[in-house]
Structures are given as structure tokens and as C-alpha cells.
């Protein structure tokens, strides 16, 4: 009788509880949305105004100027087709690996699945520098692709391979292989099985992955800046140059608007493909879907996939490390030692090694901001399953995703415009960088936390409370342990993103407080092997830091929800 008492709540009391819960959720959504408003919407809105009202009155002539300028049109066209080419290439190259992970059981599968994350979170500057080592002049096999579109495409595939493999692979692994086998026994040759059965079932996840790859390629900055040379320029690089080099803020604003429009269109498409997926597939455990490799074609399929990954990732990164130790005086730590002084060939104000401390400090602050806001947002998004809460959560969700697609350069540029005058003058403040990093990391954090929170079966809480746990005990014994795993993974991700962020930081970093990617870029900009070696050494340190963080991530990742 005593045990039944807590369940006998009067109707009015429970309605009051509901209302209070809704209020709490609304309250929880406020800080992240406010943060987004001040540090994302406002700066971006300021860019809009700068483009449309350059001198206090509405002026659309700048648009005409930009669109009629052949060099601008070339930049626009190049950005579009290069992103499209990167996307198609990446999907084509990564689909076999997605199939491999989804269908076969093999040694080292789990480790490889985790390791794939490394190139994805690797700082773009590191990716670009390690690519330079392979396909730059004097690189492997004597080919020099530096400054060609191929260098950009290969780097984009390097960077985005994991997005396709992990997104599509996760969906593919939930498709019962017996569907394909049934089609075989019904007379379908392999290519028709793929076209008629597999493809329709993975199509929406391919679309989702492709739209992400397109966005990342479309707004890619570090890679294009370093590998594109003078002839290959994208919108993102052009925005940076127009602002930082030529001080044409109005032109930069127009370009940023054009970019935003494309991004929003793609995001809307992405949202649609997301809503359509997961309608058809019943979830099963992945192990039920796996097949061991038996025939030699299957063995060759897996071997060639792994070989491809080894070449794509191993060669550039291996060469990067090797070159960082290969000084003019033979193998050694020469370049690493050079990072600690300001003499020699480098002319920076501070020893480059200071950047390591700066980066770590900014990453800690950015991670803390992103986690607190992300947790509030995720809790509000998960809601209580009622209709009003699901509409509310969809809007919050979408709003928080927009920074994912917006270029970091736009964010950095917007900060520059907005925060150097009252009411908020943060121009010389150290806070701007971690805040910008938190904006970039927030969508990922929310993406990781929401499934973690959703995965808590309400019956667990009910079971705990019928066993006598008070609401607070339920929170501590059920919610916290389950969510803490996602929280740890999200923290790792935010940290890695902050470590590698380049686009926004390029605008915001003060000369005396560079982050590691900025220090690498500066070293690359100076002539001579000595500086190039320092860039290699710094890149190696940054890569190692990132690898450590990412290895920690997958240890905590909740099972079954992993895409990013």
C-alpha cells in the first residue's frame, strides 16, 4: 500500500507538474538560444546590413557589381563545381568502405571504425600541410599537384571520407542482408540487387552524408587557402581576402550573403532527407547483420579497402611526421627546438611554442561553454514527447544546426564588425576566440547529446522509482550515468574542434596570442625550409593532441548511435 502511494497523484497536481516541466524546458532553451542570438545571429545580421546598406541607405548595386565582375563569377562557379566534385568523389570512394563496415566481420574492425574519426577532426591546416608533403613539389613520386584542383579534391576526400563511411555505414548495417539474399534467389544479379534493394534503402543516408560533405567543401577554408594557390579561390577564401587584405567589406558581405543562401538551401534539403530516413528500417543488432568473409573476392574487397585507407591517410600523415624530424643536419628534434625561440628564420613576436598553451586554454574555455549550453539545449530538445514540445524542439534543433553550415570565416568576420564598438567591445578581448569556437562546436555537441538523452528508456526511471528511488535519486542513478558517456564524447569533440579551428580564428587571433593552426599558417607563409620544417613540427604536435582527444572520445561513445 505504501509503495502505491506516490502513484496516486491527483489530476490537477499532475497538470501543474506538466506546466512546470514545460516552463523548465523553455528556461533551459533560453541560454543556448540567447548565446546563438548574440554571437551568431547578430554578427551575421550585421554582415547582411553591411552588404545591403553600405552607407546608411539601402543599396543593391553592390550585388550587381559583384555578379558582373568576371573574376567574382569565376570564384562563384569554381566554389560550386569544386564542392560538387568533392562530394561526388568522396561518396564514390567511400561507399565501398561503408559496405565493408556494414557487412563484414574482420579483425580490427572496431579500432578502424574509431580511427576513421581522426582525419575528420584533424585541423584543416594539418591536413593541408600533410598533403603538401605528398603532392607538393618534391613530394612523393615527383608529382606536383600543388595549386591544382586535384590537391583540393584529394584533401577534401581525406577530410570527409569518415562522414560518408560512418553515416552510410551505420544505416547500411541495419539493413538485413537477407533482403539482398532474397533478391539474389529471386534471380537478381549483384548489380541489380544493389540498384533495386540496397540503393533505395541507403539513399537517404547517402543524401544526408553528401549534403554534409558538400557544406564542408563549400565552406572549406584552410585547405583551399593553402593548397589552392592563386588560381583556385573559393567564396570562403575570397571573403577572407576581401576583408583582411583589401578592406572591401561591402563585397565581402555580399559574398557572405550568397554563401549563406546556398548553405540554408542545402540545410533545408538535409533536414528533409533526415526526416524521411529511418521510416523503413527496423533496428537490429549489427552483429546479426555481419557476415564473415569466406570467398577470396570478399577477402580482396576488404584488403583493397584497407589498403586504400592506409594510402589515403597513412602516407600523408606518416610523411608529415617524418619530415618534421628530417632537418638539414639529419634526423632530429631541430625543428621542434626551433619552435621555442624567436630567433633564426622566424620573425614572430612570440616563440611559436606559446601557441600550444594558447590553443589548450581556448579549447578548455570553448569546451566548457559548448557543453553547458549544449546540455541545456539537448534537454530542451528531447522534450517530453508531447506535440507542442516536438514542434518547439524541431525549431530549436534546426536553429542550433545552422552554425554547422555557416562558414567560420563569416562568423569571424561578423565578430569583427559587431564586437569592436559599444555596446559590446570585445575587439581586444581574449574571449572572442573561445566564444567563436563554442559556436562552431555547439551543433556537434547537441548532435551527440540528444541521442544520449533520448536513449534513456522512460521505463528505467519508472522502474527505479517503483524500487523506491526519489526523483533526485533517479536523476543521479539513471540519467547521469547514461548521459555522462555522451557528455564525455561531446567534450572530446568540442575540444578537438576548438584545437583545429582556423577560419574564424584567422580573423580574431591577436598577433601575440596565436593558436596552433594560426602559428602553422604563419610559418607556411614565410619562405625557407626552416619555416616549413617548423610548420611540419607544429602540425605533428597538433595532430598528436587531436589523436589523443579522439581516442578518448570513442571510449566513451554510447553504443549504437555513432555517426559522428
Residues within the interface to another protein (CB under 8 A)? 176, 178-179, 181-189, 192, 196-197, 200-201, 280-281, 292, 294-295
Least Cβ distance, residue 301 to another protein (angstroms): 15
CB 293, min distance to another protein, A: 9
CB of 187 to another protein, least distance (A): 4
What are 97's strand-pairing partners?
none
Residue 162 in contact with residue 120, Cβ under 8 Å?
A: yes
Cell numbers describing residue 246: 583589401
Q: Which candidate, 324, 405, 417, places its Cα nearest to that of 42?
A: 417
What is the closest distance, in whole angstroms, from the C-beta atom of residue 191 to another protein in the complex?
Answer: 11
Determine the distance from the C-alpha atom of residue 536 to the mean position of all C-alpha atoms in its chain, rounded to a whole number. 23
Which of residues 187 and 423 has its CB atom nearest to another protein in the complex?
187
The minimum distance between CB 203 and another protein, in angstroms, equals: 9
| Residue number, 22 or 203, with CB nearest to another protein | 203
**Pair 485, 558: CB distance under 8 Å:** yes
Q: Cβ(242)–Cβ(248) under 8 Å?
A: yes
Of the candidates 163, 116, 110, the residue with the CA atom closest to the CA atom of residue 290: 110
56/187 with CB nearer another protein:
187
Provide the CA 194 distance to its chain's centre, in angstroms. Answer: 30
**214/404 Cα distance (integer angstroms):** 12
Whole-number minimum distance, CB 179 to another protein, in Å? 5
Other C-beta atoms lying within 10 Å of the C-beta of residue 231: 10
In the complex with another protein, the residue whose CB is nearer, 292 or 428, is 292
Kindly tell me which of 272 and 427 has the beta carbon lying closer to another protein.
Answer: 272
Closer of 273 and 393 to another protein (Cβ) = 273
CB of 197 to another protein, least distance (A): 6
Among residues 197 and 409, whose Cβ is nearest to another protein? 197
Residue 313 to residue 239: CA distance in whole angstroms: 30
Write down the least CB distance from residue 177 to another protein, Å.
9
Residue placing its CB nearer to another protein in the complex, 289 or 524: 289
Could you give the C-alpha distances from 24 to 30, 280, 394, 465, 526, in angstroms and in order? 10, 34, 17, 21, 54
d(CA 531, CA 29): 47
Q: How far is CA 511 from CA 54, 348, 507, in A?
A: 29, 8, 11
Q: For another protein, which is the closer residue by CB, 189 or 525?
A: 189
Cis peptide before 515 (omega within 30 of 0): no
Could you tell me the smallest distance in angstroms from the CB atom of residue 181 to another protein?
A: 5
Q: How far is the CB of 77 from another protein (least distance, A)?
A: 37
126 within 8 A of 155, measured Cβ to Cβ: no
Q: How far is the CB of 201 from another protein (least distance, A)?
A: 6
For residue 331, report the phi and psi dihedrals to the nearest 5 degrees.
-70, 140
DSSP code string of 233-266: --HHHHHHIIIIIT--HHHHHHHHHHHHHHHHHH
* Distance in Å, CB of 561 to another protein, minimum: 21
Q: Give phi and psi for 338, each to the nearest 5.
A: -65, -25
Q: How far is C-alpha 305 from the geometric centre of its chain's CA atoms?
A: 24
Nearer to another protein, 280 or 424 (CB): 280
Of 178 and 275, which CB lies nearer to another protein in the complex structure? 178
Name the phi and psi angles at 444, rounded to 5: -65, -40
Question: Kind of pairing, strands 420-421 and 330-331?
Answer: unpaired
Return phi, psi of residue 200, to 5°: -60, -30
Please say which residue, 50 or 103, places its beta carbon nearer to another protein: 103
CB 208 to another protein: min, Å: 17
Q: Are 398 and 268 in contact (CB under 8 A)?
A: no
In three-state form (DSSP H/G/I as H, E/B as E, the rest C), the secondary structure along 26-61 is HHHHHHHHHHHHHHHHHHHHHHHHHHHCCCCCCCCH
If the CB atoms of residues 281 and 315 are measured against another protein, the closer one turns out to be 281
Residue 4 exposure: Cα atoms within 13 Å on the Cβ side: 1
Amino acid at each position: 500500500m505504501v509503495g502505491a502511494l506516490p502513484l496516486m497523484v491527483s489530476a490537477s497536481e499532475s497538470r501543474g507538474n506538466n506546466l512546470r516541466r514545460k516552463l523548465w524546458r523553455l528556461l533551459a532553451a533560453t541560454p543556448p538560444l540567447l548565446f546563438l542570438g548574440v554571437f551568431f545571429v547578430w554578427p551575421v545580421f550585421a554582415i547582411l546590413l553591411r552588404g545591403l546598406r553600405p552607407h546608411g541607405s539601402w543599396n543593391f548595386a553592390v550585388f550587381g557589381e559583384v555578379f558582373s565582375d568576371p573574376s567574382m563569377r569565376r570564384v562563384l562557379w569554381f566554389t560550386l563545381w569544386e564542392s560538387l566534385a568533392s562530394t561526388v568523389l568522396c561518396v564514390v570512394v567511400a561507399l565501398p568502405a561503408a559496405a565493408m563496415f556494414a557487412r563484414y566481420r574482420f579483425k580490427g574492425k572496431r579500432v578502424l571504425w574509431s580511427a576513421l574519426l581522426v582525419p575528420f577532426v584533424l585541423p584543416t591546416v594539418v591536413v593541408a600541410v600533410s598533403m603538401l608533403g605528398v603532392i607538393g613539389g618534391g613530394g612523393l613520386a615527383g608529382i606536383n599537384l600543388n595549386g591544382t584542383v586535384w590537391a583540393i579534391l584529394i584533401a577534401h576526400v581525406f577530410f570527409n571520407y569518415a562522414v560518408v563511411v560512418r553515416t552510410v555505414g551505420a544505416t547500411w548495417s541495419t539493413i538485413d542482408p537477407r533482403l539482398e539474399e532474397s533478391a539474389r534467389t529471386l534471380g537478381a544479379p549483384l548489380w541489380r540487387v544493389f540498384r533495386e534493394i540496397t540503393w533505395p534503402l541507403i539513399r537517404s543516408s547517402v543524401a544526408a552524408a553528401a549534403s554534409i560533405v558538400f557544406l564542408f567543401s563549400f565552406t572549406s577554408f584552410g585547405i583551399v587557402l593553402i593548397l589552392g594557390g592563386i588560381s583556385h579561390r573559393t567564396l570562403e577564401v575570397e571573403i577572407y581576402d576581401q576583408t583582411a587584405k583589401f578592406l572591401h567589406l561591402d563585397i565581402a558581405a555580399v559574398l557572405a550573403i550568397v554563401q549563406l543562401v546556398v548553405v540554408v538551401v542545402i540545410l533545408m534539403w538535409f533536414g528533409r532527407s533526415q526526416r524521411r530516413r529511418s521510416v523503413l528500417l527496423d533496428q537490429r543488432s549489427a552483429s546479426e547483420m555481419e557476415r564473415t568473409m569466406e570467398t577470396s573476392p570478399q577477402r580482396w574487397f576488404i584488403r583493397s579497402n584497407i589498403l586504400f585507407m592506409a594510402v589515403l591517410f597513412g602516407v600523408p600523415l606518416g610523411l608529415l611526421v617524418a619530415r618534421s624530424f628530417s632537418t638539414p643536419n639529419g634526423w632530429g628534434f631541430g625543428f621542434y627546438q626551433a619552435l621555442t625561440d624567436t630567433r633564426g628564420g622566424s620573425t614572430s613576436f612570440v616563440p611559436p611554442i606559446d601557441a600550444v598553451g594558447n590553443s589548450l586554454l581556448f579549447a578548455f574555455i570553448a569546451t566548457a561553454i559548448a557543453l553547458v549550453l549544449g546540455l541545456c539545449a539537448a534537454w530542451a530538445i528531447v522534450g517530453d514527447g508531447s506535440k507542442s514540445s516536438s514542434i518547439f524542439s524541431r525549431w530549436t534543433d534546426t536553429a542550433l544546426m545552422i552554425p554547422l553550415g555557416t562558414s567560420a570565416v563569416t562568423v569571424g568576420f561578423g565578430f569583427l564588425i559587431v564586437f569592436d564598438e559599444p555596446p559590446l567591445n570585445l575587439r581586444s578581448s581574449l574571449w572572442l576566440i573561445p566564444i567563436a569556437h563554442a559556436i562552431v562546436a555547439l551543433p556537434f555537441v547537441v548532435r551527440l547529446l540528444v541521442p544520449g538523452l533520448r536513449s534513456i528508456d522512460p521505463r528505467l526511471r519508472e522502474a527505479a522509482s517503483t524500487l523506491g528511488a526519489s526523483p533526485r535519486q533517479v536523476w543521479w542513478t539513471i540519467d547521469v550515468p547514461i548521459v555522462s558517456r555522451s557528455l564525455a564524447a561531446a567534450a572530446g569533440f568540442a575540444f578537438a574542434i576548438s584545437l583545429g579551428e582556423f577560419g574564424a580564428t584567422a580573423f580574431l587571433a591577436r598577433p601575440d596570442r596565436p593558436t596552433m593552426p594560426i602559428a602553422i599558417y604563419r610559418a607556411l607563409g614565410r619562405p625557407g625550409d626552416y619555416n616549413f620544417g617548423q610548420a611540419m613540427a607544429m602540425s605533428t604536435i597538433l595532430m598528436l593532441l587531436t589523436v589523443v582527444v579522439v581516442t578518448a572520445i570513442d571510449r566513451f561513445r554510447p553504443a549504437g548511435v555513432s555517426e559522428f
